[in-house]
Structure 1
Amino acid sequence: MNKETNYWKTAEQMNGRLAMMGFFAAVINYGITGWIIPGIV
C-alpha cells in the first residue's frame, strides 16, 4: 500500500512540475514573439 501511495505522490509532483514548465515556456514564447499558438490568426 505504501508503494502505491508513494507512486501517486511522485506522479502528482511530476505532473505539477511539467505543467509549470509548460506554463513557463508559454510565457517566454509570448514574451519573445507575442503569440501563444502561432498560425491561428
Structure 2
Amino acid sequence: MKNQTTETPRVEEGKVIAERLNGYAAFVGCWALIGAYLTTGQIIPGIV
C-alpha cells in the first residue's frame, strides 16, 4: 500500500468573501423584515 497524503481542497478566497457578503445581506434583510412588522404590523407593507 502506498503512503498517501490527503490534502484538503482549498476554497477560493473570492467565494468565501461572496458567501460572507451574502450572509450579511440576509441578516440585514431579516432585521428589515422584523422592523417592518413591528412598525406596520405587516410583513410586506402596502400588501394586505
Q: Same fold, TM exceeding 0.5?
A: yes
% same residue: 41
Matched, 1:12 2:19: yes
User: Which contiguous aligned blocks of 4+ residues in structure 1 show a shift greater than 6 angstroms?
Assistant: none
Unpaired runs of at least 5, structure 2:
1-9
Q: Name the structure where helix makes up a greater proportion of residues.
A: 1
Unpaired runs of at least 5, structure 1:
none
Question: TM-score normalized by structure 2?
Answer: 0.69
Q: How many residues align?
A: 39
Question: TM-score normalized by structure 1?
Answer: 0.80
CA root-mean-square deviation: 1.7
Between structure 1 and structure 2, the one with the greater Rg is 2
